[in-house]
Structure 1
Amino acid sequence: MSRAYVMVAPNGARLSKADHAALPLTLPEVVQTARDCHAAGADAIHLHVRDQSGAHTLDPGLYRETLAHLASDLPAMDIQITTEAVGRFSVADQLACLTELNPAWASLAVREMARDPVLATRLYAQADDKGTRLQHILYDAEDLKLLQSWQKTGRVHAGQNDVLFVLGRYTDGLVSDPQAIAPLIKGLHPGTPWMLCAFGPTEHACLVQAARLGGDVRVGFENSQTAADGTLWRDNAASVAALMSELGQASGAACA
């Protein structure tokens, strides 16, 4: 079992300090969390930014400021921005964000792109032209089928094949099942780079299973703030550190 690439998603779009006191929302908090998580073993950060009211935003200026601080403080840490709509932003808004920001790496949900296929076609073409790496967020097998149909027709360009499977987002109680991973990845084309995140207290169990199956992993408060026994993690870095230990143990067992 090779060492999985580990991304931290420390805050998400919907959570607040009421969900966890250590949820990073401000620029200094996000940068400090990135430092701590990188020191704990995270290779990358999945970045959300908030406006002055604490609401999720795709504001390029706020993104640019945060990206500059992270790049200066943590040049070895990869940064992926989100284009998540959260019921507020259109495909036009998502395209405008990417056009103005021109990030190195961005995530997008296929089902959100499907709201406006014409603009989605422009977005994929622009990302290909500008060299923005895209990771497609998939919530179920139907999302994967849609992505693959777009790859076949050329809407999604060659090389734009990275995916992130999300477990548990639409289950009762936000519960994720490690046994659900194998059926999901069965539909992937050979060689497709894939990553997994999982909601709920089984987050780490799902991520370890994903690593066993050859995937990369995304961990953090966006998906779960608790350990398997229900206790709150102290902060994102504590969750990352615990996951790194679990991945190491799983790797050792696989080699035994």
Structure 2
Amino acid sequence: MGDLLITVAPTGAETTKADCPQLPTTPEELVETARRCEAAGAAMIHVHIRDAEHRPTLDPARLKDTVAALRESTGLVLQLSTGGSVHDPLDQRLKVLDAAPDSCSLTMGTTNFGDDVFSNPWPFICELYQLSQEREVVPEFELFDLGHVAALHRLLDKYGAPYGGKVHCDLVMGVPGGMPGTADALVAAVAALPSSVTSWSATGIGRSTLPVGLASLSKGGHLRVGMEDVLTLSRGVPVEHNEQLVSRAVELGRLAQREPMTPVEARGLLGLA
């Protein structure tokens, strides 16, 4: 049985297709990426979508079509980003759950995001969380800083457990404006997590990908990888396909004597029906 959840985040909202032609932005590219990453060892996919001009979008019809296409083509746990792009309004971000994903990201606070601000005010967090409970969508709590860990304590104390009863979070590390992508920061964040957390993963942005991944494995955590978070395999060597990042995560896991979970095993970990 697998004991390592590998999530692939193939696209994101920041990188342009013009700057990175191999980024999967069309529905066909996303499905092809999902299939190959599932075969390589991913069990969950974290999805941002683009419009016909490859720009970030939260178009409801396109979200529903993407969920349907991925469900038809793969067995992956489907997680939609409720962050969208940093420019998306809060009301549109709430409507992401109308597409009925298995899971959704739920960021636990506002953070500086490079030169931009990723807005997640407390009333929005509470509304999104209660909506996920009502819609039976499992949230993945995204934690960009130690203040977000404290906010997770507050949210769970106020509204109780998520749908499914499991509490899964992801430490997003190395974003300019958030906590650094270091082993020391990861250890501090994990030590501060609520006792009700049942599983956690870590994401290292850019050059912090490998340090964060190795630290996560050593602490018993899971991994999120993908071209949303890093575009190079090493200095000057671009990623050509998300499958490469998933395969590397599998290899690192096996060095730590951990095997990748299947999507069925991941559903059990996350409390999905």
Structure 1 length normalisation: TM-score? Answer: 0.87
Distance 2:128 2:62 in 1: 21
Distance 1:202 1:95 in 2: 30
Moved more, 184-193 or 131-140: 184-193
For structure 2, list consecutive stretches of 5 or more residues without a partner in the other structure.
111-118, 259-273
* Equivalent position of 1:132 in the other structure: 137
Q: Cα–Cα, structure 1 residues 115 and 202, in superposed 2: closer, same or farther, change >3 Å?
A: closer
* Equivalent position of 1:107 in the other structure: 105
Distance 2:132 2:28 in 1: 29
* Equivalent position of 2:149 in the other structure: 144
Conservation of the 8 A alpha-carbon contact between 1:8 and 1:46: yes
The 3-state SS of whatever aligns with 2:54 is coil
Distance 1:44 1:233 in 2: 20
Conservation of the 8 A alpha-carbon contact between 2:108 and 2:141: yes
Distance 2:188 2:100 in 1: 35
Which amino acid in the other structure matches residue 77 of structure 1? L
* Equivalent position of 1:210 in the other structure: 216
Q: Cα–Cα, structure 1 residues 206 and 19, in superposed 2: closer, same or farther, change >3 Å?
A: farther
**CA displacement, residues 141-179 of structure 1 (integer Å, 9 cap, x when unaligned):** 00111121122222875847321111100269x973233
The 3-state SS of whatever aligns with 2:193 is coil
Distance 2:67 2:126 in 1: 26
Distance 1:160 1:92 in 2: 26
Conservation of the 8 A alpha-carbon contact between 2:108 and 2:152: yes
Moved more, 16-25 or 192-201: 16-25
| CA displacement at 1:247 relative to structure 2 | 1.5
Distance 1:149 1:54 in 2: 37
Conservation of the 8 A alpha-carbon contact between 2:37 and 2:246: yes
* Equivalent position of 1:15 in the other structure: 15
Distance 2:188 2:234 in 1: 23
| CA displacement at 1:248 relative to structure 2 | 0.8
Superposition map of 1:13-52 within 5 A:
13-52=13-52
Superposed CA RMSD in Å reads: 2.4
* Equivalent position of 2:63 in the other structure: 63
* Equivalent position of 2:81 in the other structure: 82
Conservation of the 8 A alpha-carbon contact between 1:202 and 1:228: no
* Equivalent position of 2:231 in the other structure: 225
Conservation of the 8 A alpha-carbon contact between 2:26 and 2:50: yes
Q: What is the number of equivalent residue pairs in this alignment?
A: 247
Q: Cα–Cα, structure 1 residues 123 and 177, in superposed 2: closer, same or farther, change >3 Å?
A: closer
Q: Cα–Cα, structure 1 residues 209 and 3, in superposed 2: closer, same or farther, change >3 Å?
A: farther
| CA displacement at 1:132 relative to structure 2 | 0.7
Over the matched positions of the two proteins, sequence identity in percent amounts to 26
Which amino acid in the other structure matches residue 110 of structure 1? M
| CA displacement at 1:189 relative to structure 2 | 2.0
**CA displacement, residues 173-202 of structure 1 (integer Å, 9 cap, x when unaligned):** x97323321111110123512111111133
Distance 2:42 2:107 in 1: 23
Conservation of the 8 A alpha-carbon contact between 2:200 and 2:222: yes
Moved more, 133-142 or 77-86: 77-86
| CA displacement at 1:18 relative to structure 2 | 3.6
Conservation of the 8 A alpha-carbon contact between 1:135 and 1:163: yes
**CA displacement, residues 70-115 of structure 1 (integer Å, 9 cap, x when unaligned):** 11111x21110001143322322222232x2232211121225742
Conservation of the 8 A alpha-carbon contact between 2:183 and 2:211: yes
Distance 2:80 2:162 in 1: 20
Which amino acid in the other structure matches residue 107 of structure 2? A
Distance 1:143 1:251 in 2: 31
| CA displacement at 1:5 relative to structure 2 | 0.3
Residue of 191, 194, 208 corresponding to 1:189? 194
Distance 1:128 1:148 in 2: 17
Residue of 174, 177, 183 corresponding to 2:182? 177
Structure 2 length normalisation: TM-score? Answer: 0.82
For structure 1, list consecutive stretches of 5 or more residues without a partner in the other structure.
none
Moved more, 65-74 or 229-238: 229-238
The 3-state SS of whatever aligns with 2:141 is strand
| CA displacement at 1:139 relative to structure 2 | 0.5
- 1:241 to 2:247 alignment: yes
